Chain A
Amino acid sequence: MNDMRAVERDVDTNDLKITARGVDVFYGDTHAIKDVDVDIVDNTVTAFIGPSGCGKSTFLRCLNRMNDTIDVARVEGSIMLDGEDIYDPKVDPVQLRAKVGMVFQKPNPFPKSIYDNVAYGPRIHGLAKDKAALDEIVEKSLRRAALWDEAKDRLDQPGTGLSGGQQQRLCIARAVATNPEVLLMDEPCSALDPIATAQIEELIDELRSRYSVVIVTHSMQQAARVSQKTAFFHLGELVEFGETGHIFTNPSDPRTESYITGRIG
């Protein structure tokens, strides 16, 4: 289904996939995100870095309207996906989330079999015509999340029975299976060993050819390795946003420099 558009996208890369302007998020009286402008370019990996509690997850959740599910959360400003305001009253967040997939900070597999975990998204979105097609999606997704070898003999066993790192990769496979246009990943590698981390980074790099990926990470090395753009958040503000190489070698804000050299955070 994406073939046509994939070709199209290859032609005009550097298209803006998401543009956020003047975004403010409040949790009750807490002002968690303060007037943030970010552009997410298509077919790139954008990294969000910043000290704990600075609002990276909060901002990420704005991009697929997961903040709607938090009663006290209030989002202001405008966020456009492909030029359409995703907070427009006419937009159904359910439809939006099929386009903008998400991997959560804490692994949260369904207490169902590994197979059903991965197959759930394709099933509800009708992505597979028959069982064989579904099998294929499941295998492909698990392979991409570097979980296939460990999981192929136990597809019917509960996903909750996997180790923490395996669960996180299962969640990645699950998100990839629905074929989103944008993939939001909240610290996808925080529970992974270096080998699995390398595999996920490889996956992210591969995904970039078709999707835009936004990744939250606490690892400067990871941000430097996988991303082309980096946004540095501090206390709810977007301090600096630009080319990853630029941010890491020549930050313009002293706070950015202190953070990446390990003095804040």
Chain B
Amino acid sequence: MSDATAPSPTAPTSSLLKQDDRTRRRNRAETRFRAYGMAAVIVGILALVLLLTSILSNGLSSFRQTFITFPVTLAEERLDPQGNRNPEEMARVTTFGYAPLLGQSFVEHVQSMGIETDLGPREMAAMISDEAPGQLRAMVLANPDIVGETITLELLAGGRIDGFFKGRVTMASAERDNNVSPEQLLLAEALREQGVMDTRFNWDFITAPDASGQRPEAAGLGVAILGSFYMMIVVLVLALPIGVAASIYLEEFAPKNRFTDLIEVNISNLAAVPSIVFGILGLAIFINFAGLPQSAPIVGGLVLTLMTLPTIIIATRASLRAVPPSIRSAALGLGASKMQSVFHHVLPLAAPGILTGTIIGLAQALGETAPLLLIGMVAFVREYPSAPPDGFFDPASALPVQVYNWTQRSDPAFVERASGAIIVLLVFLIFMNAVAILLRRRFERRW
């Protein structure tokens, strides 16, 4: 091919300094592929950013709420006509007995501050949330001795007033609104300058129960969070052991035959069944047949367990299969029983995968809405479920259902609250995923 004169280098058959056509084509193809990949990643990130900014901009304000601070005189003749401070008799005074008290004290306070307004007492009192009398009543009944005193209270402002401070309600929109007038907004503005009204962080959004459609300012996620939490406990306690036991049996012990093939195919199919079907199943079996109560976390948990099981089984089997067979042989060769080989060696190696699968399954279950609607979790629940185990049978709501519920309501303040609930849901999901990652790290480091 080339001259064989000894000391000088042979002439190259083709120069390495110049790319040939084939190499150039391959490089171009690679560059193109990188560009596509990057574009795909950017689209994904943009979608995520868009989603997050829209939810955050809509929902962050729901964690803040406007309060009115003023002294309230708890007139004895109104609240405790008998004068014996007996909570049972005082309970006969309904919230309608408390409302005028609040209104009167508020009007007096506004007048004492010397603020000019054209509003009549009724319209001024309407700026206080309808929820406030009920809250005051609960407070008085819990502590009857404060009757007769004048105490300074921080009470919720009405939803429209709150919306005004958050920019949702404007003078122009108030003109057209039956629930609020521009004069009320002017008064609110003046009261804020005086420090009587302020908008601050509101724990009640997270802890309080839901409120009716007319009182968005009082609606909270407490019952929904508790309900979701109870359901997650049910799912975890049932789905993890059942799923892992089933997977270990199928993967390590069951003979490979037609029957186990059939089971395998069906488990995969089960994972693809629309969740609403599980809801119908739950309604038919757990409520109509087994007679469990409606809207109870136990039923929701059972339905979600059915939904989560295939996910956990598939993830567990995959991670069991990923453990090298040589580990099993090593254990068996030493005279370990099959069970010892699985529990001492295979399962610890598969644990990170199992945990990840379980938490992904739980996260799916946490965000699931459709089956819960069918089993009545959409009901309006204002009572907290009691502590477990009884609480599993009490009516409760669930986070995603609460979101759905709030988006159905007419008052625009609920849009903000629905977005806020989504933020809470996302925080829980991120937390669960972080736990999954942490656990995985810890387990993996041990090997």
Determine if B336 is an interface residue (Cβ-Cβ < 8 Å). yes
Most chain A C-beta atoms within 10 Å of own C-beta, residue among B326, B328, B334, B349: B334
Write out the residue numbers on chain A whose beta carbons fall within 8 Å of the beta carbon of B338: 94
Other-chain residue from A71, A98, A120 in contact with B256 (beta carbon distance below 8 A): A71
Write out the residue numbers on chain A whose beta carbons fall within 8 Å of the beta carbon of B327: 108, 110-111
A122 to chain B, nearest CB (A): 10
Residue-wise, chain A 31-58 has the 8 Å CB interface mask toward B (1 for contact) of 0000000000000000000000000000
Contact B335 A98 (CB under 8 A): yes
Determine if A200 is an interface residue (Cβ-Cβ < 8 Å). no
Write out the residue numbers on chain B whose beta carbons fall within 8 Å of the beta carbon of A160: 447
Write out the residue numbers on chain B whose beta carbons fall within 8 Å of the beta carbon of A106: 326
Write out the residue numbers on chain A whose beta carbons fall within 8 Å of the beta carbon of B324: 108
* A-B complex: 3 closest residue pairs judged by Cβ atoms: A98-B335, A108-B326, A102-B333
Write out the residue numbers on chain B whose beta carbons fall within 8 Å of the beta carbon of A124: 334-336, 340, 344
Are A120 and B447 CB-contacts (below 8 A) given A69-B328, A104-B329, A108-B329?
A: no
Contact B336 A94 (CB under 8 A): yes
* 11 additional A-B residue pairs with CB within 8 Å, beyond A94-B332, A175-B334: A69-B332, A71-B256, A101-B334, A102-B333, A104-B330, A108-B327, A110-B327, A120-B336, A120-B344, A124-B335, A124-B336
Contact A111 B329 (CB under 8 A): no
Determine if B331 is an interface residue (Cβ-Cβ < 8 Å). yes
A178 to chain B, nearest CB (A): 6
Residue-wise, chain A 154-168 has the 8 Å CB interface mask toward B (1 for contact) of 000010100000000
Contact A110 B345 (CB under 8 A): yes
How many interface contacts (CB-CB < 8 Å) are there between A and B? Answer: 65
Determine if A171 is an interface residue (Cβ-Cβ < 8 Å). yes
Tell me what chain B mostly uses at the interface: helix, strand, loop, or mixed. Answer: helix
Write out the residue numbers on chain A whose beta carbons fall within 8 Å of the beta carbon of B268: none
Residue in A closest to B255 when the chains form the complex, CB atoms: A71
Write out the residue numbers on chain A whose beta carbons fall within 8 Å of the beta carbon of B330: 104, 108-110, 171, 174
A68 to chain B, nearest CB (A): 9
Write out the residue numbers on chain A whose beta carbons fall within 8 Å of the beta carbon of B345: 110
Tally of chain A residues near chain B (CB < 8 A): 28
Contact B331 A110 (CB under 8 A): yes
Residue-wise, chain A 217-242 has the 8 Å CB interface mask toward B (1 for contact) of 00000000000000000000000000
Contact B332 A104 (CB under 8 A): no
Determine if A251 is an interface residue (Cβ-Cβ < 8 Å). no
Residue-wise, chain A 91-106 has the 8 Å CB interface mask toward B (1 for contact) of 0001101110110101
Write out the residue numbers on chain B whose beta carbons fall within 8 Å of the beta carbon of A111: 327, 349, 447
Write out the residue numbers on chain B whose beta carbons fall within 8 Å of the beta carbon of A104: 326, 329-330, 333
Determine if B337 is an interface residue (Cβ-Cβ < 8 Å). yes
CA separation between A118 and B338, bound complex, in Å? 19
CA separation between A167 and B333, bound complex, in Å? 16
CA separation between A110 and B324, bound complex, in Å? 10
What are 13 A-B pairs with beta-carbon distances under 8 A? A64-B333, A66-B333, A69-B329, A71-B256, A94-B332, A97-B334, A98-B334, A104-B333, A110-B327, A111-B349, A112-B447, A124-B340, A178-B334
Write out the residue numbers on chain A whose beta carbons fall within 8 Å of the beta carbon of B328: 69
Residue in A closest to B336 when the chains form the complex, CB atoms: A124
B440 to chain A, nearest CB (A): 15
B30 to chain A, nearest CB (A): 35
Contact B335 A158 (CB under 8 A): no
CA separation between A66 and B334, bound complex, in Å? 11
Contact B447 A125 (CB under 8 A): no
Contact B334 A174 (CB under 8 A): yes
